[in-house]
Structure 1
Amino acid sequence: MSAPRTSILRPSAPRPSALRPARPVAGRRRAQPVTWIVLGLLAVYALGPLLVLAANSLKSSREIDTNPLGPPQSWSWSNFAGAWERAHMGGALLNSSLIALATAAGVAVIATTAAYAMTRLGLPGGGAWILWLLVSSSLPIQLFLVPLVSWWSFLGLYNQPIGLVIIYWAVYSPFATLLVRAFLVGMPREYEEAARLDGAGELGVFTRIVLPMVRPAVLTAALVAGLQAYNEFMLAVTFIQDRDLQPVALSLYSFQQGFTTDWSLVSAAGLLMALPVVVLFLMMQRTFIDGYVSRGIAV
Structure 2
Amino acid sequence: MFFISRLKKFPIANHVILSILALIIILPVTILLFNSVKPKAEIGINPLGFPHEMRFQNYSDAFVKANYAKVFFNSFILVVGTLFLCIPLSGAAAFSLAVMKSGKRITPLVGLYLLVGLSIPAQLYILPLFILWKFLHLNNSFLGLIIIYTALNAPFAVFLIRSYMLQLPQELFEAARIEGASNIQLFIKIAVPLSWPVFLTSGLIVALAVWNEFLFAVTFIYDDSIKPISTILFAFSDRFKNDYALISASAVMMALPMIILFVLFQRNFIVGLTSGSMKS
TM-score interval for Structure 1 and Structure 2 normalised by the shorter chain? over 0.9
Choose which of 116, 122, 125 in structure 1 pairs with 2:102.
122
> Which aligned pairs between 1:257-268 and structure 2 lie closer than 5 A?
257-268=238-249
Query: Could you tell me how far 1:137 is from its partner in structure 2?
Result: 0.7
Aligned partner of residue 53 in structure 2, secondary structure:
coil
Give the Cα–Cα distance (whole angstroms) in 2 for the partners of residues 169 and 182 of structure 1. 20
* One of 48, 56, 66 as aligned partner of 2:27: 48
1:66 to 34, 37, 45: 45
| Cα shift readout 1:236-284 (whole Å, capped 9, x = no counterpart) | 0000111110111111111111111011111111111111111111111
Contact 1:112 1:177 in 2 (8 A): yes
Alignment RMSD (CA, Å): 1.9
Structure 1 residue runs of 5 or longer lacking an equivalent are 1-26
Q: Does 2:142 match 1:161?
A: yes
Contact 2:157 2:202 in 1 (8 A): yes
Instruction: After superposing the two structures, state which structure 1 stretch, 97-106 or 247-256, moved more.
Output: 97-106
CA offsets, 1:4-50, max 9 Å, x none? xxxxxxxxxxxxxxxxxxxxxxx999633223222222221222211
> Which residue does 1:227 correspond to in 2?
208
Cα shift at 1:100 = 1.3
Match of 1:104 among 79, 83, 108: 83
Assess if the C-alpha contact under 8 Å between 1:108 and 1:219 holds in 2.
no
Give the C-alpha shift of residue 87 in structure 1: 1.1
Asked if 1:93 corresponds to 2:77, the answer is no
User: Which residue number corresponds to residue 3 of structure 2?
Assistant: none
Q: Is the 8 A contact 1:182 1:297 kept in 2?
A: no
Residues 192-236 of structure 1, C-alpha deviations (whole Å, 9 max, x = no match): 111122222221111111111121121111111110000000000
Query: Cα–Cα, structure 1 residues 229 and 297, in superposed 2: closer, same or farther, change >3 Å?
Result: farther
Distance in 1 (alpha carbons) for counterparts of 2:157 and 2:194: 16
Cα deviation code 1:150-201 (max 9, x no counterpart): 1111111100011101000001101110111111222221011111222222
What is the alpha-carbon distance in structure 1 between the residues aligned to residue 244 and residue 181 of structure 2? 61
TM-score after normalising by structure 1: 0.86
State which structure, 1 or 2, has the greater radius of gyration over its C-alpha atoms: 1
How many residues matched? 272
Contact conserved, 1:179 with 1:297, CA < 8 A, in 2?
no
* 1:184–1:55 CA distance, 2 compared to 1 (3 A): same
Describe the shift of the 1:297–1:156 C-alpha distance in structure 2 as closer, same or farther (beyond 3 A): farther
- For the Cα contact (< 8 Å) 1:58–1:264, is it kept in 2? yes
More helix by share: 2
TM-score using structure 2 length: 0.92
CA distance in 2, matches of 1:188, 1:88: 50
Q: Which moved more, 1:196-205 or 1:285-294?
A: 196-205
Instruction: Name the CA distance, whole Å, in 2 between partners of 1:173 and 1:28.
Output: 37
**Among candidates 107, 113, 126, match of residue 92 of structure 2:** 113
SS in 1 for 2:49: coil
**How much has 1:297 moved relative to structure 2?**
10
Q: Which consecutive residues of structure 2, in runs of 5 or more, have no partner in the other structure?
A: 1-5
Alignment-derived partner of residue 21 in structure 1: none
Question: How many Å separate the matches in 1 of 2:49 and 2:89?
Answer: 47
Check the 8 A contact 1:105/1:222 in 2, yes or no: no
> Match for residue 19 of structure 1?
none
Distance in 2, Cα, partners of 1:57 & 1:92: 19
Kept in 2, the 8 Å contact 1:95–1:245? The answer is yes
43-52 or 238-247, larger mean C-alpha shift: 43-52
Partner of 1:218: 199
Question: In structure 1, what is the Cα distance between the partners aligned to 2:272 and 2:87?
Answer: 13
1:149 to 130, 137, 140: 130
SS of the counterpart of 1:275? helix
